[in-house]
Copies of this chain bind each other. A is one copy, B any other.
Amino acid sequence: MDIREIARRAKVSTATVSRTINRVPTVSPALAKRVWSVIEELGYYPNTQARALVSGRSRIFGLIISEITNPFFPEIVQVFETIAVQHRYEILLTSTGNDPTRMESAVRRMIERRVEGVAILTFGMEEVLLEDLKLRKVPLVFVDVGPPRPRVSNIRIDYLNGIRQAVQHLAALRHEKIAFITGPLRLKSAMARKQAFLRSMQEIGLEADPRLVVEGDHTMEGGMTAFTRLLAGPIRPTAVLCSNDMTAIGVMRESHDAGISIPRDLSVIGFDDIRLAQFVIPPLTSVQMSQPELARLAFNALLAEVEREVPAPNGTDYLLKTNLVLRESTALISGASTLVEKQR
């Protein structure tokens, strides 16, 4: 069953059927009605590959993330997909696991399917592997790390805002010995978080003791290890700020095993505000980097680029703010029972 079959039965040309389906306004209502009724009757659905072939538009966007099993990403995927469907786009999803081989194969698949744009939300720096896409002038959107080029957009994260709030929140609770567990420092995003922490401490005249800044790797296990090192060190922190939520969850886990009660003995703050942060016990205070918002920005960046006639010479920048969300993992240093009130 194809467009000709419909044309025959509706006694019109294939062009009219095509116009009807694409809602071209010049089709007379009478004919349109006849065509639609045949379409309904036969349960006809146009063939996307054929449409894509002739129109030169696949209506597919690529979405590259690190790992769908990393709790940071599912919500991004969900929102991205929802918006895509609303705009009649399909998405080609790939988890690369930061494996260059998989990244390469993802790029090949995307080119073969002729994606109209790709969002690279890995926070990594596999930029080189994307040469093939750039060559083809496929619109790209990165987080923080995209090069200044036409058709390459960037979502800039304002790490400082939320981290400053976190530090000031801890300071307000009388904490001074505040530790920071970083992410893998080869990641620009991890480095930026660390810098934001140091700066925030300095701003309020607190010294960020180098012995209280240890490197993690953004996993729960990494958080556990890092916290163990912290405990073994010369200074016992009363609060610890983590470069992401999984790290913070590792700290909570390790604290529990070590008999340290949160928030009574130790205040903990995460970063990202993944959903899981609400589920742990106690619910984790975290610096929110809105995943829905990130997904929305990424999609809109691609869509804007696709629709733009003349691309900006250095791409476009978008800004994503971060904000502290208070829950129950922080308290006054005294260890008194005064818990910080829940925000929600």
Contacts and interface: CB of A to CB of B under 8 A. Distances in A.
A68 B78 contact: yes
A94 interface: yes
* Chain A: interface size category: 35 or more
Interface in A84-110: 85, 90-95, 105, 108-109
Contacts of A249: 279
10 contacts: A43-B132, A48-B113, A49-B49, A49-B53, A50-B53, A69-B74, A69-B78, A81-B94, A93-B93, A249-B279
A221 to B, nearest CB: 11
A114 B78 contact: no
Interface in A8-57: 43, 45-50, 52-53
A114 B69 contact: no
A256 B49 CA distance: 55
Contacts of A290: none
Interface of A: 43, 45-50, 52-53, 58, 67-69, 71, 73-75, 77-78, 81, 85, 90-95, 105, 108-109, 111-114, 132, 135, 220, 249, 252-253, 256, 275-276, 279-282
B275 A252 contact: no
Given A49-B53, A256-B282, 7 more contacts: A43-B132, A49-B52, A49-B58, A68-B78, A90-B113, A252-B281, A276-B276
A14 to B, nearest CB: 16
A122 to B, nearest CB: 15
Contacts of A74: 68-69, 73-74
Contacts of A114: 47-49
B69 A75 contact: yes
B281 A112 contact: no
Q: Which 7 A-B pairs have the closest CB atoms?
A: A49-B49, A49-B52, A45-B111, A68-B74, A49-B53, A48-B112, A69-B74
